[in-house]
Chain A
Amino acid sequence: MMGRKMRGRGMAASWYGIARTATIDRAGAWAELDDGGTGKIVTGVTEIGEGILTLLAQVAAEEMGIKPEDITIGDNDTARSPEAAHAGATRQTYMIGNSVALACRDARAKLDKELAEHWDVEADSIEAFDGEIWSKGSNLKMSMEEAVDICKKRGVVPVGSGSFTAHGTGLDPVDGSGSPWQAYVFGTQVAEVEVDTVTGEVQVLGIWAAHDVGRAINPRGVEGQIEGGVVQGLGQALMEDYQLEDGHTKTHGFAKYILPTSLDIPEINTVIVEDPDPKSPLGAKGIGEPALVPTAPAIMNAIYDAVGVRITSLPATPEKVLAALQAKAAAGQLEAAE
């Protein structure tokens, strides 16, 4: 028997490729260890909201041995910065992150060489973190500010550059064979829903999202990407629908084109799984796009679990769910009559 409000759960798995598809992807960056022990990064792409600037500052800080807030990023300008190509394809962390890491290593190698001669130690004994630089196994230690000053007084500006490549190959035009990406991620989500069998309305009450992102550079940022992806997936699953009639849109504003708002948001429980990428310096992969992939099918599978109707046409609007429930009831009566 069905009550008015029915609950159920469903799951869906997914996979995704990192960076540009079926082609060679590339990105470049420049780095400089600057006065005051600060760092300067220049690369050709900027923030679209995913947190890339913060992530690049973390990577640069780690590689240079300084603090993220001491990094200045010069970005976003085809006439002033090296090519980093586009902000999409879940490629920013993988492509730009790694090119920044390589550029910083290049800059640090120049600084370390000068400092090694200054201290009379081996360059590979030098380590740095959070604004301090030292020679391992000795008591030689100074601030990065001092180290940069010494390097420059020896006539060397510690600058570096980095270019990172991801080796995808094109697909065969006949059988589609090829190696489109060098890094893949996988994800699984579970959805819990409540279906109102009188109105057909579906509410998503919980999402559990487990995603492999490679090495997580900023776990909170990863969560933010997953939460945002889940809610876009929820919107597509239940309400969003760009409608045309003879080429004219019927949904030309947010009064007609319905988006998820605060009251539609499930409790989102994120599990970050780290399977580091072996082919890149950072081991990170990405999460921007893949977070959205399993949400809608998980919700449809949960609706089936709750009320036994299979919605195969998105979005599962109240009207569509109600019609499916009525069709199911009618079929049940027919069966009973036979």
Chain B
Amino acid sequence: MSEQTPTDLQLEFQINGRNMKRRAQPHQRLLDFIRDDLALTGAKEGCGAGECGTCSVFVDGKLVKSCLMPVAKANGTKIETIEGLAGWGGDLTPVQKAFHKTGASQCGYCIPGMVMAATSALRENPKADIEEIKERLGGNICRCTGYTKIFEAVEMARDVLSGEANAAVLEADGAGKSYIGNNVRRLDAPSKVAGRLRYAGDMVMPGMLHMQVLRSPHAHALIKSIDTSEAENLPGVACVITADDVPGEDGFGVFVHDQPIMARGRVRYVGEAIAAVTADDMLTAVRAASLIKVEYEPIAAVFDSEEAMQNGAPVVHDYAPDNIVKHIPIRKGDVEQGFADADLVVEQSYDTQAVEHAYLEPEAGIAYVDHDDVVTVVSPSQNITHHRHMLAKIIDRPINKVRFIMSPVGGGFGGKEDMIYQGMLALSAMKTGAPVRLVYTREESIISTAKRHPARITYKMGLKQDGRITAVSFRMISDGGAYGLSTEGVMRKAAILACGPYNIPNVQIDTYGVYTNNTPSGAFRTFGAMQSQFATESHMDICAEKLGLDPFEFRRINMMQNGAVTHTQQQLGSVSIGRVLEAAEKASRWETGPVSMRGQERADLGGDDTRPPCTLGARFRKPGDDDRQEVA
């Protein structure tokens, strides 16, 4: 594919101040060209659809999403990338320094694009106020920071650039008397704000091959046959692997190893890996994957967790004929007696949805077999220790012949705890003897990787008229999807924390993780606790209203104290719930009153510590001018 074809483009352009004359292929986007051909990997591909802004660059001074621009259009332009803002070895710009100072970079993957957008905002309007800054950053997604430190950084840079603030504000705070409790600036921030940090998808190795995965279009089907011969015969293809190529004991998962690295005789969800092609370049790999012939026999599927628990429902895994991955029970006291003793019993059900982690860095990795015959996988894995154990078994190698290197993680939130693709990479590297790289597209990442468990919760709480809780019965059914992954642990944490930091003498908690033919659910920041406590804290307000109590007061009546015994009968030491209740109440200037629809009567609304509501498009103003300004 690398030889010149009649359709090759001849491009002349300037990039980061340097004039260049290069050949490019017509299918390339500007992003591909600057990353793959020019090795400028500061601009990232977060979505490939112009929605996330990680690929932002300047073209003739205008902020452009380079994933949307065909490279042909770059001919004759002046391009500026994140690498060109400061230059190698050069001092960081005030915008970059401000991002460093305020802690505006966390995982850093969105940050090059965010720095470009911020730079653009201040170039377009050096006096932009915070509302305009927010609107001008509206095309860039950050999943880690909550944007707050980014806003602070852009305002700080604006003030330094305009001379309103001294440049010294960008520098480090002093040592003081201790480095504990000190706002030491992030040591990894300069590499992130300058676009220098290389994530797995930015890495290249000599002789590196590229992988494309073939995925299931069926939610539940038997695989009758897989014919890879045509794909294998395509020039440029190095190998095609399927489950048959696994030399050891196939299966991974955080608690139960029920997932093969590629479907084995049966697919259980749409997007499950079937086969993987490794080729000289991506185009060949993609073309070869389309030549693999898979014969499926669709079988009955189940998409609802409660239906999956019924007798006669389609069985997702033979080892679990009831489709239950894990049931966690917690019992304390006598819950029936507790309800009998109550003056009031309140029942309600709650639902939470499946949620995508949406880390800006899609899954990526490189595997190779080193000179000492060590199978090495470089990937943004959140659990290299466990992955090493599992992979050693899967490829049947001693554990010291398997090496995992954790590349910088462009956002994880639990979603990179699963060894979902590293097995395919390792196997292909072993088969080809060459380094193999795999980079997911955003669509692949969304359809094939774990989500937050959706949950259906039924809640019953018994109360005395004075506000004391006498009993809780809590039942949560969670859709675990097609494979176990972290479901067992998620059910456990959801159950332990379900009833909140309250003293409840009689408790009955049941959480169930259930197999279905949906996208698997897995680890996601809070590991089930968000779902169960959403129900508890909503229920607390419903009950407070019925009792005519202020929500803080109601929680204080029931909160655990130092030395409390939890729902799992653990005795605690110091318990800080009283302190955090008081701190939030005080900080928010909370106006005490019983729960009801009293918003319009409150005097604590709209303080300086809130933002004004937003009306789209209302914020663009030219300096010194009240007219709205169109912005490209």
Q: List the interface of chain A (C-beta within 8 A of B).
A: 3, 5-17, 21-22, 44-51, 53-54, 57-59, 61-62, 67-69, 71, 75-79, 83-89, 129-130, 171, 173-180, 184-190, 192, 194, 203, 205-206, 208-212, 215-221, 223-224, 226-233, 235-236, 240-244, 246-249, 251-255, 257, 259-269, 271, 273, 275, 278, 282, 288-290, 292-294, 296-298, 300-301, 304-308, 310, 312-315
Contact = CB atoms under 8 A, between A and B. Distances in A.
Contacts of A14: 500-501, 529, 533, 537
Contact of B358 (A13, A87, A171, A257): A257
Interface in B378-430: 380, 382-386, 388, 400, 402-414, 416-417
B610 interface: yes
B543 to A, nearest CB: 12
Contacts, number: 490
B374 A244 contact: no
Contacts of B404: 77-78
A178 B570 CA distance: 6
Given A209-B584, A257-B358, A13 B555 contact: yes
A17 B386 CA distance: 21
Contact of A212 (B140, B383, B579): B579
B577 interface: yes
Contacts of A48: 107, 380, 382, 409, 411-412, 416
Given A44-B385, A58-B182, A310-B542, A233 B451 contact: no
Contact of B538 (A203, A289, A310): A310
Contacts of A67: 175, 179
B2 interface: no
Contacts of B501: 13-15, 186
B426 to A, nearest CB: 13
Contacts of B614: 203, 263-264
A6 B555 CA distance: 26
Interface in B107-140: 107-108, 134-135, 137-140
Contacts of A129: 175, 177-178
A307 to B, nearest CB: 7
Contacts of B348: 312
Contacts of B287: none
B406 A45 contact: yes
B358 to A, nearest CB: 6
B187 interface: yes
B577 A186 contact: yes
In this complex, the member of A5, A68, A248, A262 whose beta carbon has the largest number of chain B beta carbons within 10 angstroms is A262
Interface in B483-528: 489, 492-493, 495-497, 500-501, 509, 517-519, 523, 525-527
Contact of B541 (A224, A265, A301): A301
Nearest to B599: A8
Main secondary structure of the interface of B (DSSP, over half): loop
Contacts of A246: 219, 301, 303
6 contacts: A58-B184, A62-B179, A77-B405, A87-B412, A249-B446, A273-B579
A303 B573 CA distance: 36
Interface residues of B, number: 158
Given A54-B187, A275-B579, A253 B570 contact: no
A179 B568 contact: yes
Given A203-B614, A246-B219, A254-B442, A304 B605 contact: no
- Nearest 5 A-B pairs (CB), nearest first? A49-B107, A247-B219, A8-B599, A176-B330, A227-B146
A171 B412 contact: no
Contacts of B329: 173-176
Contacts of A12: 533, 537, 540-541
Contacts of B402: 78
B328 A305 contact: no
B179 A304 contact: no
Contact of B413 (A84, A232, A252, A267): A232
Contacts of B354: 241-244
A171 to B, nearest CB: 6
Given A87-B382, A253-B443, A301-B537, A186 B47 contact: no
Given A13-B555, A175-B331, A187 B270 contact: no
B258 interface: no
Contact of A205 (B135, B414, B602, B610): B610
Contacts of B220: 247
| Residue of B134, B145, B186 contacting most chain A CB atoms (<10 Å) | B186
A244 B518 contact: yes
Nearest to B331: A175
Given A15-B501, A15-B533, A21-B527, 8 more contacts: A16-B526, A85-B383, A176-B328, A206-B611, A246-B303, A265-B146, A265-B147, A292-B530
A71 B184 CA distance: 13
Contact of B408 (A46, A259, A269, A298): A46
B188 A53 contact: yes
Contact of B607 (A173, A206, A215, A254): A206
B580 A16 contact: no
A5 B613 contact: yes
A10 B579 CA distance: 18
B460 interface: no
Given A54-B186, A292-B530, A171 B328 contact: yes
